[in-house]
Structure 1
Amino acid sequence: MKRLFMTLLVLAAAALSLPAQELWCPTPTNRLVNDYSGMLSTDEAASLEQRLVAFDDSTSNQILVIITPSLHGCEIMELGTRIGTTWGVGQKELRNGLVILIKSKTDDEPYGDVALVPGYGLEGALPDAFCKHIIDDKMIEPLSNGDYYKALTQALSIIEPVCRGEYSYSDYKRKENREVLYALLGFIAITVLVTILLSKLAKKHGGGSGNGGTPFLGGSSRGGYWGGGLGGSSGGFSSGGGGGFGGFGGGSFGGGGAHGRF
């Protein structure tokens, strides 16, 4: 018993003497678009890089895109926060950085993950619920279909104007609610018109039961609201060599944002 106790004591001491395992984080680069999975073509990566550099130049907001084949055992939100802080995305005073982290599908892991992780200074413009909405409404479907470029440009078409202060999450929700209302009213109007036309045709041909049931047009009216985003364009930059990014400014992150799986 004494020997067993001594053995356990030695093992415990050895374990405590080992250096703590470092948490994984990709090595910082001087690029805003970092595709370690090869999911973007050269032209797509260059176009996104130039778009984000121009956005940084005009607003000082920095958006970092990382696509990786593995999270190395980390939770995606935890890793996104660590990347944002380690790389210093955003300006130090404003803390206005955003990390878009995507884990691509692989043969070993036939599912992907995506996270939007804003720095402290952008959490007001991009609250958790808004980040989740952008992921679910703009990113999951194209990512599931392997179109990472479309997912990113659709997300940016909302993120960029919001970060510029052109409108807020509340404005976005009001706009979307109006779109839903207009679609519903249009659906009702079409249903009424079809019903009237069918009723007139039935009377004209003098037969059939006039109350044989109103043909209800099936299918959901919800589908492509805000389908084109809010004026963002994926083709606004040439595919010529990227560059021009002046480096990260030392922003900090607190763990806000949202994630989804595809």
Structure 2
Amino acid sequence: MEKCFYKDVLERIQKEEKAIGMLTGSIIDESYRMISYLQDILNELKISLCEKGFKNEKEEIVFFKEVKPQILGKLIYYNKVYRIETTCPVSNGKIYYSYFSAQLANLKREYIEHICNSDFYRYYRSGRTDRDDTYFKRGNINYHDGLNSIVFEIDPEFSTFYDYKTARIIANELLYTYLLTKINPDENPDSILQKPANSKDIFWTDSKNALIELIYALYACGVISHGKIGVRKISLMFQILFGITLGDLHHSFHRMKTRSGSRTAFLDQLKTSLEDYMDKDL
């Protein structure tokens, strides 16, 4: 399976999210459509994997660490959003906000009980790679670790179990941002997944990492609200503006700090492009 194939799949998902967001004004309908779409993508990848396999161990690790969790994480996220929205008792008022506050409390409790204290979570958050061959290669599940019972339901040919745990982390990050928009009146569009009706033609066309780099630069400079708002809120504004979900900001930023070459590739590109544009008027 080629790396460009993975990139193509992730780009297809992003385009589908934008297309569905433009077609429907209902978060319930949008979530349902994305659930069906993402299930089809996973089935497509599974068939391709059975037919072609992986060229080497590195390709296998990339798939189960970076590719499949992004897809499965969004599938888990959209399914949770669908369940939350379809059981919401009212459309506004105190009961509405109490309902979503309770959902956020449940998410935080799940995070404390099942995620944050695990060795794997600390491994993932730190951006380490030294145990990738254990966590993200098939056939290495250690049942002595007292794993979650879902491990017995996974397909060992299409999961390492830790790809599922990574997907859960990604899904929880997305769900946390979504719930914040529901319980905070100042940040309460219909959904983080929807753009305002008058900005359907405004969308981000570079990579998500490029946008995250820009967000952190603005935060570090303290140029928005005199530096009195956090990076998450700045991120939320951009996500609403461009109708895009950025996922785990912290993890993406950590990878930027340790990547080879320029750590500010997008900002470097902005500077060069602006200077070139200035030179045109000389």
TM (normalized to structure 1)?
0.29
**Which structure carries more strand by proportion?**
1
Higher relative contact order (CA 8 A, sep 6+): 1
Structure of larger gyration radius? 1
TM (normalized to structure 2)?
0.27
**Which structure carries more helix by proportion?**
2
